């Protein structure tokens, strides 16, 4: 589904991504973890070219990422993206947020798009919020709408860039539950997160990054119970100490 | 003070009408130019950004009166001939358009980057994300400053008297300089002032309505 080879990226003097190689198979859930500033969000954002890379190649579904333009827009339509800060369209209702993509990009008739949107809202537990504006929802509700918005495009891949990092603790689980259901249903997912419990339960593979490099890749049980690298051991000791 | 009041009102009324339609027409031109400029300003294509910037610098930094003179006196010399009305509308419109473009640009810049990232992530093209997501949200922020530009344009429109368009100020000058001295200076000044205030009040009111119409819950 996604193949990343030899990717390098600089922000000025900062070498944000160093020789990244990573593939994501169909139906696989890959969870990126690591300390802040390790490059996991940047890596996630390169997959739909919200960040460009300086060197290396990224292919999605066998096709190299096109330059900015219609071909890239088409590719992005197939890759759902959920952001840390939700980024729901502030001037549109929940229903309009979800139907915008299908109507504008997929040319789905409005009635059909709305029907599907209501099904998705049902699924994320927000059927009664269709006509609310984003500002009237809690963070957890907004993030679930954002997930529904992504799913409305029938994406081949869903990416989550720290989807629970901006949420109050009591709202984290309602979002993780939705994500876990998705994972169980076989959605291909790339998830950047600090939620170790989620990584352990939902991931097929855990990718541990530090200082712009992929340090360790392993199935979750193996990674959490028996990390091989000192950097990962150190990181886990810090995040698991409470 | 208000000698020959009916004659005065007749002349000033005609001037007021001219001021109003010159203002509104050139403002419509300015809005179109501003919209084109702002799309060019945020476009991924470098030449478009460069051209928008060049236009803005040119029209923002040359006095409006000079713009009108260049058009009315200069352009016919290179074979571009048109009515003084045309130059009045184009001069006011193109000059104000530069300011409208900058105002709209600041409106766009006030929208968080995440909104356009989310739009692009859905597969919307540059144009679609601008028209469906970014511009509708910036409209509300830019209506008050666009309203100020409209009011400024009402007053700037007085300058077209220099190229012979009989708007409100031009008419009042004719009354003051009346060869038979039929009109009192203060009477004319008061009426002209009231005329401009009336126009400005009505337009401000319309801007307020537009502001309320575009409000959304946040």
Q: How far apart are CA B192 and CA B181, in angstroms?
A: 17
> Do residues A136 and A128 lie in contact, with contact meaning Cβ atoms separated by under 8 Å?
no
Q: Sketch out chain B's domains with CATH numbers.
A: 5-213 (1.10.3720.10)
Q: CB-based burial of residue A51 (10 Å sphere; 0-12 exposed, 13-18 middle, 19+ buried)? A: middle
Nearest CA in chain A to B136: A91
> CB distance A90–B216 less than 8 Å?
yes
Q: B162: number of CA atoms within 13 Å, CB side? A: 17
Query: What residues are paired with A188 via a beta bridge?
Result: A157
Q: How far apart are CA B198 and CA B34, in angstroms?
A: 27
Chain A residues touching B137 at Cβ < 8 A: 89-91
Give the model's confidence band at A240: pLDDT under 50 very low, under 70 low, under 90 confident, else very high: confident
The residues, any chain, with a CB within 8 Å of residue A234's CB and separated by 6 or more, are: none
pLDDT of res. B44: 83
> Do residues B168 and B160 lie in contact, with contact meaning Cβ atoms separated by under 8 Å?
no
Query: Cβ of A68 under 8 Å from any chain B Cβ?
Result: yes
Domain residue limits, chain A:
2-78+157-239, 89-155
Query: What residues are paired with A72 via a beta bridge?
Result: none
Model confidence at B217: pLDDT above 60: no
pLDDT of res. B205: 94
Nearest chain A CA: its distance from B120 CA (Å) = 7
For chain A positions 137-156, those within 8 Å of chain B (CB to CB) are 146, 149, 153
Give tens-digit pLDDT for A2-28.
999 999 999 999 999 999 999 999 999
Of B44, B117, B137, the CB nearest to A91: B137
N- to C-terminal Cα separation, chain B: 54
Chain B residues touching A104 at Cβ < 8 A: 122, 124, 128, 132
Give the model's confidence band at A39: pLDDT under 50 very low, under 70 low, under 90 confident, else very high: very high
Q: How far is CA A194 from CA A107, A162, A177, in A?
A: 37, 7, 15
Q: CB-based burial of residue B212 (10 Å sphere; 0-12 exposed, 13-18 middle, 19+ buried)? A: exposed
> Do residues B30 and B153 lie in contact, with contact meaning Cβ atoms separated by under 8 Å?
yes
Q: How far apart are CA A130 and CA A126, in angstroms?
A: 7
Of A73, A77, A87, the CB nearest to B118: A87
Fold of A2-78+157-239: Rossmann fold (3.40.50)
Model confidence at B218: pLDDT above 60: no
For chain A positions 69-88, those within 8 Å of chain B (CB to CB) are 70, 73-81, 83, 85, 87-88
Helix (H) or strand (E) holding A72: helix A70-77
Length of chain A: 242
> Do residues A153 and A78 lie in contact, with contact meaning Cβ atoms separated by under 8 Å?
yes
pLDDT of res. B43: 87
Model confidence at B154: pLDDT above 60: yes
pTM: 0.82
pLDDT of res. A242: 62
Give tens-digit pLDDT for A123-146.
999 999 999 999 999 999 999 999
Evaluate the CA torsion angle B184, B185, B191, B192 in order and state its sign.
positive
Q: How far apart are CA A8 and CA A10, in angstroms?
A: 7
> CB distance A101–B123 less than 8 Å?
yes
Give tens-digit pLDDT for A141-181.
999 999 999 999 999 999 999 999 999 988 999 999 999 99
Give tens-digit pLDDT for B87-126.
999 999 999 999 999 999 999 999 999 999 999 999 999 8
Q: How far apart are CA A174 and CA A141, in angstroms?
A: 8
Cβ atoms within 10 Å, residue B57: 11
Model confidence at A69: pLDDT above 70: yes
- Residue A93: which of A63, A118, A123, A57 has the closest Cα? A118
pLDDT of res. B142: 92
Give the best residue of B108, B122, B133 to mutate against chain A (max A CB count within 10 A): B122
**DSSP annotation of A231:** H
The residues, any chain, with a CB within 8 Å of residue B91's CB and separated by 6 or more, are: B26, B64, B67, B68, B71, B72, B160
B191-200: long-range contacts at Cβ-Cβ below 8 A with a sequence spacing of 24 or more? B191/B2, B191/B8, B191/B9, B191/B12, B192/B12, B192/B168, B195/B12, B195/B15, B195/B16, B195/B19, B195/B168, B196/B19, B196/B154, B196/B155, B196/B168, B198/B16, B199/B16, B199/B19, B199/B20, B199/B23, B199/B154, B200/B151, B200/B154
Give tens-digit pLDDT for B170-212.
999 988 888 888 888 888 899 999 999 999 999 999 999 988 8
Give the best residue of A50, A60, A73 to mutate against chain B (max B CB count within 10 A): A73
- Match 């709202």 to its residue by tokens: A171
Cβ atoms within 10 Å, residue A39: 25
> Do residues A229 and A216 lie in contact, with contact meaning Cβ atoms separated by under 8 Å?
yes
Model confidence at B57: pLDDT above 70: yes
Q: How far is CA A24 from CA A6, A47, A158, A190, B85, in A?
A: 15, 11, 12, 8, 66
């Amino acid at each position: 589904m996604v193949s990343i080879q030899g990717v390098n990226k600089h922000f000025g003097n900062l070498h944000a991504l160093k020789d990244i190689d990573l593939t994501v198979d169909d139906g696989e859930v890959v969870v990126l973890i690591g300390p802040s500033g390790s490059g996991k969000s940047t890596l996630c954002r390169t997959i739909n070219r919200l960040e460009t890379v300086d060197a290396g190649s990224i292919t999605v579904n066998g096709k190299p990422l096109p330059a900015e333009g219609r071909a890239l827009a088409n590719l992005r339509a197939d890759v759902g993206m959920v952001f840390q800060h939700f980024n729901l369209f502030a001037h549109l209702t929940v229903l309009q947020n979800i139907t915008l993509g299908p109507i504008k990009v997929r040319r789905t008739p409005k009635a059909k798009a709305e029907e599907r949107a209501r099904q998705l809202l049902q699924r994320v537990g927000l059927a009664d919020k269709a006509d609310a504006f984003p500002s009237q929802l809690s963070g957890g509700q907004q993030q679930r709408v954002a997930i529904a918005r992504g799913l409305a495009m029938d994406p081949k891949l869903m990416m989550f860039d720290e989807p629970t990092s901006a949420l109050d603790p009591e709202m984290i689980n309602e979002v993780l539950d939705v994500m876990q259901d998705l994972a169980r249903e076989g959605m291909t997912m790339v998830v950047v997160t600090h939620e170790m419990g989620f990584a352990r339960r939902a991931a097929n593979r855990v990718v541990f990054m530090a200082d712009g490099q992929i340090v360790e890749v392993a199935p979750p049980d193996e990674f959490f119970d028996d990390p091989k690298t000192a950097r990962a051991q150190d990181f886990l000791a810090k995040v698991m100490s409470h | 003070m208000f000698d020959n009041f009916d004659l005065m009102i007749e002349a000033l009324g005609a001037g007021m009408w001219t001021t109003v339609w010159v203002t509104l027409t050139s403002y419509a031109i300015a809005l179109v130019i501003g919209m084109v400029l702002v799309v060019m300003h945020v476009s991924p294509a470098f030449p478009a950004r460069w051209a928008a910037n060049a236009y803005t610098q040119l029209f923002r930094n040359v006095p409006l009166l000079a713009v009108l003179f260049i058009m009315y006196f200069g352009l016919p010399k290179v074979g571009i001939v048109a009515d003084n009305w045309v130059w009045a509308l184009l001069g006011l419109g193109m000059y104000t358009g530069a300011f409208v473009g900058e105002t709209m640009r600041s409106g766009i810049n006030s929208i968080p980057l995440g909104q356009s990232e989310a739009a692009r992530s859905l597969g919307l093209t540059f144009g679609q994300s601008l028209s469906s997501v970014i511009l509708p949200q910036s409209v509300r922020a830019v209506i008050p400053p666009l309203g100020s530009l409209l009011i400024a344009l009402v007053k700037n429109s007085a300058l077209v008297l220099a190229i012979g368009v009989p708007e409100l100020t031009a008419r009042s000058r004719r009354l003051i300089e009346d060869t038979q001295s039929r009109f009192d200076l203060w009477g004319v000044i008061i009426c002209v002032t009231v005329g401009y205030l009336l126009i400005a009040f009505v337009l401000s009111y319309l801007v307020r309505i537009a502001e309320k119409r575009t409000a959304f819950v946040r």
